[in-house]
Structure 1
Amino acid sequence: MSSLRIAVVGAGLAGVSAASALREDDHQVFVFDKSRGCGGRLSSKRTPMGGFDLGAQYFTARDSRFRHALQHWLDSGWVAEWTPRLYCYDDTGLHESPDDQQRFVGLPGMSALPRQLLADVTLTSQTHIERLHPVEPGQWMLEDKTGVTHGPFDRVVVAVPAPQAVVLLEPAPTLQQTVAQISMSPTWTLAVAFDQPLATSVDACFVRGGPLDWVSRNSSKPGRHGSDSWVVHSTPAWAADHLEASPESVTAHLLEALSEVLGTALPEPACTHVHRWLLARPDDKRNWGALAAPELGLYVCGDWCLDGRVENAWLSGQQTARTLV
C-alpha cells in the first residue's frame, strides 16, 4: 500500500498505539487531541511536591503481543515493574492482599509511555475535533471547535471515549449506532502530598466499601521523587452521586475516607489536587477489539472496545492499524 495521510483523533493509548504502528508502516500520521499533551487516562501531573499519576495507576500484561512490546519498553527504560505492598480493605478491615499479579508503570510517570510512542508522529494538541466531513471520495476533512478545518486525509481513526466518538461518527450511521451502545462511568481522583511520610506499610490498596475504590502511595512507584504522595480514586457510584460537588467538598470527603482506610489520622496536606474523570471506565465488557467502516476509510478504537484495561487500549489500537493497512 502506498503512503496514506491518516488522521487519528484522540491521543490516549489506543490512538497512540494505532498512530505509532501506522507510522512504522511509513504512513503520514497526524494525531489531534483536545488536551495539552498526550496519554488520555494515562495522565500524570507535575507539582512542586512531585508528580502524580491521576488516571491509570499501573498496567498488567497478559497478551503475548503486549508482553513482547512491554519487553522493548522495559529495555528502553520507558516503564518499570512496580511491586507495592498491596492490601485490601473491606468490612473486616485492612489486610494484606494475596494478589501477586505483575504490575508496571511508566517512568517517570504514566504519561511517559505514550510520549515515547509518539516521538516520530505529528501531534496537534489543544485542538478539539468536533466534526468529520467527507469530501471527495476517499477523503476527509476535520473541523475543530474553533471552526478551523484540517486535512484532507485518506483515512480517519477515531480513538476517543465512546460517548465522544458517537458525535464524530455521524457520517457513519452503522458505526455510530454500534458505539452508542457503550456507556461509561465517572471517577473522582484526589492527589495529596504530605511533608512527612504517613506511618503505614500500605503502598496500594483495593477498597471494597465506602466512597473509595483504590488507594496508592504514588511515591512508592519507581522513578517518583518528592514528598510522600498519594492518589485515591472514588467508586463510580460515589462519583455519579457527587458529580457536581465542589473540589473542596470532594477533597474533604476523600481525605476522610483515606484516613479511615489507613487507620490513621492524617496531618495537614502539603498540597491537594482533585480531578473529575467524566468517562473513566466502560460499564460493560465487549469483545469487539476495534470497529471499522473500510468502505468509508473510517476506523474506531479504544479500551472500551474490550474491557477498559491499559493493555486492551494498546491492543485495540494495534488491531485498527492492522485492519487499516
Structure 2
Amino acid sequence: MTVPIAIIGTGIAGLSAARALKDAGHVIQLFDKSRGSGGRMSSKRSAAGALDLGAQYFTARDRRFVEEVQRWQLNGWAEQWKPQLYNFQSGQLSPSPDEQTRWVGTPHMSAITRALLDDFPVEFSCRITEVFQGKQHWNLLDADGGNHGPFSHVIIATPAHQATTLLAAAPKLASVAAGVKMEPTWAIALAFDTPLNTPMEGCFVQDSPLDWLARNRSKPGRDTTLDTWVLHATSAWSKEHLDLPKEAVIELLHGAFAELLHCPMPAPSFSLAHRWLYARPAGSHEWGVLADADLGVYVCGDWCLSGRVEGAWLSGQEAARRLIEHLQ
C-alpha cells in the first residue's frame, strides 16, 4: 500500500509542491482550514462580484516561474493586467513610470489555485492542530479531534506563525519559523454605482494610512457593473488598528481614499473589510524551504523566500525537490 504525503495548506506554495510530487508519481492528501483553496491568493464572493482582497497581482522573474505563468495563461487561468498606474506622495498624484509585467488570475485570483487543485483529494474546513509521529509514519490531529493518517512525509505550507505551532516534533524548524515576523494588512472594498471620475486604475501610496489601491474593473474578466475598488492599508496602520471594528476601518480608509483623490466622494453602495493577520513577511529570507529530511518534515511558503507569489511557488517546488531527492 502506498502511504500518501500530507500537505497542510492549499495556497500557491502547497499546491506547487503537490503538483511537482504528483508529477513524480507520489500520492498526496491536502488539508486546509478554509472553505476553499488559495490562501492570500483567494478571492471573496460578494454582492459586488468576486474581489481579490489579498494578492492584487503577481510578477514573474525566475525562468521556471515565467514558464509556469505562461502555462497558466495558455489554460486561461491568468492574464496580463495593464493598469494606468499612479504614485501618491506628499499629497500629490502622478503617473507611475513603472512598466513591469503584472499578472492576475482570471476571472478572479483564485481561478489559479482552483485549477492547480484539479482532482487532488482535499479536506477543506479542517484545521490541523498537531502533527505527530507514530512508530513509522506521521499522523495529523484536527481541531475537532479527528485523526488523519498514516502519512510518509508532511509538508507544512502555511504562514510562519501557524507553521510554528505544527512543528512541535521538529523543534529546530519550529525555532526558525518562530523567528519570522509577519505583518498584518487591513483590506477593504468599496463599490460605487457611478464610476469615480479618475483615470487611475492602480496606485502605490506614500504618506497615508493607505499603501495600495486598485480599480477592480480594470482587471481582465472582472464584473464591470459597479465601480469597485480594493484598498490596502499600510502594515503600520493595520497594526495600530488591528482590533478596530470593520465599520470603523471602512470609514477611516474611505476617508483616506477621498483625501487622495482630492474630490468629493459619494458614499459607497457596498463595502466590506477583511483583516489579514499574516499578510506578508516583514523581511525576505533565502531559505527556499525549511527541511528535516530524516524526520520527513518540510516547510514552505512565500516567507521562506521573497514574500511574493513567485516566492511561494518556488518554495513549494523546492520542498518537493528536496523530498524527492531524499527518497532516491
Mapped partners of 1:91, 1:107: distance in 2: 35
Letter in 2 for 1:160: T
Q: How does 1:138-149 map to 2 (within 5 A)?
A: 139-149=137-147
Mapped partners of 1:47, 1:174: distance in 2: 42
Mapped partners of 2:52, 2:70: distance in 1: 22
Match of 1:5 in 2: 4
Letter in 1 for 2:108: G
The Cα shift of 1:92 comes to: 4.6
Match of 2:94 in 1: 95
Mapped partners of 1:279, 1:134: distance in 2: 28
The Cα shift of 1:4 comes to: 4.7
Kindly indicate whether the alpha-carbon contact (under 8 Å) linking 2:14 and 2:316 is maintained by their aligned counterparts in 1: yes
Selected match of 1:179 from 177, 180, 184: 177
Deviations along 1:125-171, one digit per CA (max 9) or x if unpaired, are 0000000010012x100000011111110010000000110100010
Match of 2:186 in 1: 188
Match of 1:15 in 2: 14
Match of 1:268 in 2: 267
The Cα shift of 1:26 comes to: 2.1
Kindly indicate whether the alpha-carbon contact (under 8 Å) linking 1:20 and 1:121 is maintained by their aligned counterparts in 2: no
Mapped partners of 2:50, 2:278: distance in 1: 23
Letter in 2 for 1:132: V
The Cα shift of 1:46 comes to: 1.7
Match of 2:289 in 1: 290
Match of 1:218 in 2: 216
The Cα shift of 1:3 comes to: 5.4
Match of 2:153 in 1: 155
Mapped partners of 1:288, 1:4: distance in 2: 28
Kindly indicate whether the alpha-carbon contact (under 8 Å) linking 1:133 and 1:142 is maintained by their aligned counterparts in 2: yes
Q: Report % sequence identity.
A: 50
Q: Secondary structure of 2:41's match?
A: coil
Kindly indicate whether the alpha-carbon contact (under 8 Å) linking 1:3 and 1:26 is maintained by their aligned counterparts in 2: no
Kindly indicate whether the alpha-carbon contact (under 8 Å) linking 1:204 and 1:215 is maintained by their aligned counterparts in 2: yes
TM-score, normalised by the number of residues in structure 1: 0.97
Q: How does 1:304-319 map to 2 (within 5 A)?
A: 304-319=303-318
Kindly indicate whether the alpha-carbon contact (under 8 Å) linking 2:7 and 2:157 is maintained by their aligned counterparts in 1: yes
Mapped partners of 1:272, 1:92: distance in 2: 25
The Cα shift of 1:291 comes to: 1.1
Q: How does 1:183-262 map to 2 (within 5 A)?
A: 183-225=181-223, 226-262=225-261
The Cα shift of 1:105 comes to: 0.1
TM-score, normalised by the number of residues in structure 2: 0.97
Q: Secondary structure of 1:50's match?
A: coil
Q: Secondary structure of 1:21's match?
A: helix
The Cα shift of 1:123 comes to: 1.5
Match of 2:118 in 1: 119
Deviations along 1:28-63, one digit per CA (max 9) or x if unpaired, are 111111000000000211223222100000000000
Mapped partners of 1:283, 1:211: distance in 2: 18
Letter in 2 for 1:98: P
Q: How does 1:54-69 map to 2 (within 5 A)?
A: 54-69=53-68
Q: Which runs of 5+ in 1 are unaligned?
A: none
4+ residue runs of structure 1 moved beyond 3 angstroms? none
Kindly indicate whether the alpha-carbon contact (under 8 Å) linking 1:140 and 1:156 is maintained by their aligned counterparts in 2: yes
Mapped partners of 1:79, 1:123: distance in 2: 23
Q: Secondary structure of 2:74's match?
A: helix
Kindly indicate whether the alpha-carbon contact (under 8 Å) linking 1:29 and 1:122 is maintained by their aligned counterparts in 2: yes
Deviations along 1:107-130, one digit per CA (max 9) or x if unpaired, are 111111011011021121000000
Kindly indicate whether the alpha-carbon contact (under 8 Å) linking 2:91 and 2:260 is maintained by their aligned counterparts in 1: no
Letter in 2 for 1:227: L
Kindly indicate whether the alpha-carbon contact (under 8 Å) linking 1:4 and 1:27 is maintained by their aligned counterparts in 2: no
The Cα shift of 1:263 comes to: 2.1
Mapped partners of 2:66, 2:7: distance in 1: 24
Mapped partners of 2:165, 2:231: distance in 1: 31
Q: Which runs of 5+ in 2 are unaligned?
A: none
